[in-house]
Amino acid sequence: MMSDPNTITVANALPFAYRFDIRTAALVIIDMQRDFIEPGGFGETLGNDVSLLEAIVPACASVLAAWRAASGLVVHTREAHAADLSDCPPAKRNRGAPSLRIGDLGPMGRILVAGEPGNQIIDALSPVPGEWVIDKPGKGAFYATGLHERLQAAGITHLLFMGVTTEVCVQTSMREANDRGYDCLLLEDCTESYFPQFKAAAVEMMQAQGAIVGWTAPSSALLAVLATGASALPVLAGG
């Protein structure tokens, strides 16, 4: 049987090969915003050492460049609230004892508020025209965003995830996506947590039980096959 020339196979994904067609796949980059990666943002107000997270930026940038070169759809998300906090439940704002709460003024503007300097995606992964930017009030990318409807309208069936943090917004988004019928792959060196043991556990639990949530793979495995795969751009007939 002839194999479909549009099928890209990440052969050494776990727990088994992950196959997708770039025309029906999207690269989803979760919350690579200054709030989580730079000092003075939401991540640090929660008591975390944010320096751990920036180590994944070069790997994320390489995948993003390769995905763009293949003309694949890119979706960026930001954890962001409206300026009046109407989309921030008191249960979220009042939880725990952060040094600054959502909406308070910090060194990068108001914490986790849309449009503030801290809410911007870091320069190295900055969106370009044509890419989707989804502001989400929850941890998951599908809650109260309309993302599923947009992906359905675009015929997307496969989602490849990067971003932070692994066990919070990335895992929640991937589980939401899995329940909505998408085949999901997590690029394990393109995601990070403030807690290395939580990242390791999340990566392992997602692909356990026969990919119960989805697949995992190193970005090198994707980069190796993306270069040889078909482009999402239609091939022009004739010459």
**For binding to ligand TIU (CB under 6 A), which residues are involved?**
31, 36, 46, 79, 139, 164-165, 168-169, 194
- Annotated catalytic residue 139: no
**Closer CB to ligand TIU, 29 or 185, in the complex:** 29
Residue 37 to residue 185: CA distance in whole angstroms? 23
Q: Which of 193, 194, 183 is nearest to 217 (CA)?
A: 183
169, 183, 184, 199: the active-site residue: 169
Cα end-to-end distance, the chain, whole Å? 29
**Closer CB to ligand TIU, 13 or 75, in the complex:** 75
**Closer CB to ligand TIU, 46 or 230, in the complex:** 46
Least Cβ distance, residue 158 to ligand TIU (angstroms): 22
Residue 49: count other Cβ atoms within 10 Å of its Cβ. 11
- According to DSSP, residue 231 is labeled P
35, 60, 136, 183: the active-site residue: 136
Check: CB of residue 217 under 8 Å from CB of residue 10.
yes
| Residue carrying the six token digits 């439940």 | 89
**Closer CB to ligand TIU, 20 or 36, in the complex:** 36
- Annotated catalytic residue 136: yes
| Residue 110 three-state SS | strand
- Annotated catalytic residue 31: yes
Least Cβ distance, residue 168 to ligand TIU (angstroms): 3
Helix (H) or strand (E) holding 42: helix 42-45
Least Cβ distance, residue 165 to ligand TIU (angstroms): 4
Catalytic residue ranges: 31, 136, 169
